[in-house]
Structure 1
């Protein structure tokens, strides 16, 4: 049997407690526990449920506290990693040693440190809830002996020459528009997929980022009835970005291509699902975020360029704009980041005076200037003048 002394868990056998004082203290604690209105047999019963049953219910109840993408990640890691490893263990029988064994088993499967660490974090958060409900007395996922080292595997953003090479490779393919817009304007993948023509003014040369594609679209979804709000509260009603002269053809070609696709569907008698999306499948249906992200990895591998995630195109835009202009405030407005978020993205340690920043108004003209500087550097680099043989002589 187990009891606590000075907050430390101890045990006693059939012969009883080591001392009379400890026996009396344990008796007093048990009387207090039984008299407490918070104690019930229900708590004892819940503590005996299996980890797989507890986590399945917990993640559904905890969902309102999470972003859709985080919730999907929690469910995936619970289903694919945690439950297959320790799902049959009872909640009140889980120990730090068992959690350490789970971690070793996940490493043995060849999972990365970030994935294993994420599993431990999910388990720790979920068991914290079990402690608060009184199902268990302590959180075993917090008392492990495993130490996770620091990881520095975040891909470096592409330099301008690398980005030029990448854009030349995807020119004329279905990847031309989404890669160009993400790398030149710093849009997130969900913002690119959720961009609608009603928010693109080609004559006024202006782009409004005001919404994004819902995270978890069901397979086979053809119609998107409602877009999701932007992630950042700082963005409020969205952000307005100028369309530079040199990037305008990307939008015009995309518009023309969609008109041709609509015409082909009409001629062939195929249904065209008009979601007003700037970037969609040939029948107008939305692209799924996860599938596009996976396919993007294959595009990068075939290009021969260094590994890069789709979201790193946003980092590429931020880094190159900062190196070319140094305009920290304007870049934060273009990205829709807080100043602290932009500093973190750029790897800067400089302190940002947020009080002063509130009064810095970044006008459209300034955004256009920064974007034009960056876009011209990528798409219209200065030509190298060749020296003729006559001049050499």
Structure 2
């Protein structure tokens, strides 16, 4: 005669159904005058017992137990995370990068999986697929970190009843290329050509002071003291991509910038991420001279533009009508300048 197996601690009532699957019923107490129960199932008794213990742990930790809702997919959670959680934690420019990677690199492969059933092997296959497809290791690493951050919040909020699976997967290894600064001769060649171009002092600031792109084109005049010979870095200019505003009635345009109801884009001034990003730099005498000459040329541009002049932020380097310089246009100007000076265009848009 078979002996009846005793229930393990916290297992509750576990039984085998007529279809061969194991099931359990968890009593969640009374809510709004109704007794709440959650039904669990699995292929084995051990699987259901683990689900039941996890549920009890969530109750003890004060995590809200959702009843009746369909399980979230990875894509649904990532869409919610990037739309409602990430905006409060990162800069708009970073958020735009997150959205692009979620839409183009993560969701197409991992999005179909249930959030609570995503396995380390799924993440490993996705990571390897990106690398074998020719995507740079640094880009794959960034995608991996975005996924990991989203899953970390999912664990914290009880959407996933176990650890973040990304912590069980090796991150892509990245070999950083050594930055090769311009030689003294190359710097002189660039500056010689720069003086013949509009906003030539912008490149003197980049070469002599090492300001990043956003810091240079976002530099305001009230942060420059030509009498004292100092420049204070306290802000940067960013261009945020436009977002579609036609969710209820899609306009059919691929880019948000072409949407009739676009929103959230344009030029924005941002502050340094850390206190170290705010700094005061001593200007060499030639730089003071160059900036004085640049200010005179800008005054002449203001007179020529008349009512069209619009320098809302009091920027040092602007277009002829006073408006901010587009970072993409600034990058193209740098490449043209470097080519004219016989120098290979190096670096990224952050430091020139």
Classify the TM-score, shorter chain: 0.5 to 0.7
2:292 equivalent to 1:246: no
Q: Quote the residue 1:287 is aligned against.
A: 325
Q: Quote the residue 1:231 is aligned against.
A: 273
Q: Distance in 1 between matches of 2:171 and 2:232?
A: 45
Query: Could you give the per-residue CA deviations for residues 42-89 of structure 1, whole angstroms, max 9, x where no partner exists?
Result: 27847x222222112212313323244433332332233212332333
- From 309, 312, 325, the counterpart of 1:272: 309
More strand, by proportion = 2
**Between Structure 1 and Structure 2, how many residues are aligned?**
291
- From 163, 182, 188, the counterpart of 1:138: 163
- From 33, 52, 60, the counterpart of 1:30: 52
2:118 equivalent to 1:83: no
Q: Quote the residue 2:236 is aligned against.
A: 212
Query: Could you give the per-residue CA deviations for residues 90-121 of structure 1, whole angstroms, max 9, x where no partner exists?
Result: 31232222222222332344221000111011
CA contact (8 A) 1:44 1:135 kept: no
Contiguous gaps of at least 5 residues in structure 1:
1-11, 17-21, 314-393
Q: Quote the residue 2:214 is aligned against.
A: 190
Please state how far the C-alpha of 1:294 moved relative to its aligned partner.
Answer: 6.2
Change (3 A) 1:76 1:29: closer
Change (3 A) 1:32 1:55: closer
TM score, norm. by length of structure 2: 0.68
Q: Distance in 1 between matches of 2:217 and 2:67?
A: 46
Q: Distance in 2 between matches of 1:274 and 1:80?
A: 37
Q: Distance in 2 between matches of 1:88 and 1:291?
A: 39
- 1:208 is paired with a residue whose SS is strand
Larger CA deviation: 285-294 vs 104-113 = 285-294
CA contact (8 A) 2:137 2:172 kept: yes
Q: Distance in 1 between matches of 2:193 and 2:77?
A: 49
Query: Could you give the per-residue CA deviations for residues 287-338 of structure 1, whole angstroms, max 9, x where no partner exists?
Result: 234553466456546744263224344xxxxxxxxxxxxxxxxxxxxxxxxx
Greater RCO, 1 or 2 (C-alpha within 8 Å, sep 6+): 1
Q: Distance in 1 between matches of 2:282 and 2:163?
A: 54
Q: Quote the residue 1:372 is aligned against.
A: none
Change (3 A) 1:243 1:95: same
Q: Distance in 2 between matches of 1:15 and 1:70?
A: 46
Contiguous gaps of at least 5 residues in structure 2:
1-15, 23-43, 243-256, 258-262
Question: What is the RMSD of the two structures over their aligned residues, measured on CA atoms?
Answer: 3.9
- From 20, 45, 49, the counterpart of 2:72: 49
TM score, norm. by length of structure 1: 0.61
CA contact (8 A) 2:231 2:280 kept: yes
CA contact (8 A) 1:182 1:192 kept: yes
